[in-house]
Structure 1
Amino acid sequence: MSDKADLASVVTDAVRRCAKLLQPGDEVPPDQPLLELGLDSLGLVELIVLLEEELDIQIPDEQLTPEVFDSVSSIVSAVESFVERDI
């Protein structure tokens, strides 16, 4: 992943695909709670799997928390922190 903007784009696209209330092309504010976008528990599992596949990562169990998966920006911050730790 080349930079934070690319990572945010991948996460935003994944959220768009998994959140029930979003249509293709809908704006996804980076700090909006994903629950407000229609992301339910099944959508969350789909999002985790999709992110792991798209980013070729394994999200550590300790990162699978409501705080991490609250918004696009919280996911981006968490992914950056554990990717940097593994470099």
Structure 2
Amino acid sequence: MKRVQIEQENSEAKTGKLLQYLSENYQKAMTDATEFLKNTSNFLDISLEAVNKEINDLKTSGGATVESSHEAIQDGLVELRSLLTEIQG
């Protein structure tokens, strides 16, 4: 389509050239693109399954979650503030 647009913009374009571009067989490009999208989709599905499995494994093994890490950081900051208050006297 890009070539057709370029030919249309060219004031000296001949209709025969446009028809030639429009009549080309893009079946192989379409097949390749479809295959690529299918493989990419399969890869993403497998990756998503692996990530979900890892998340579930972390949850069941007692691994830290974002929420528990956030709470631990907040608790540490409260403790640090308390120590600083004691030091300042």
TM-score (norm 2): 0.21
Structure 1 or 2: more helix by fraction? 2
> Taking CA–CA contacts closer than 8 Å with sequence separation of 6 or more, which of the two structures ends up with the larger relative contact order?
1
TM-score (norm 1): 0.22
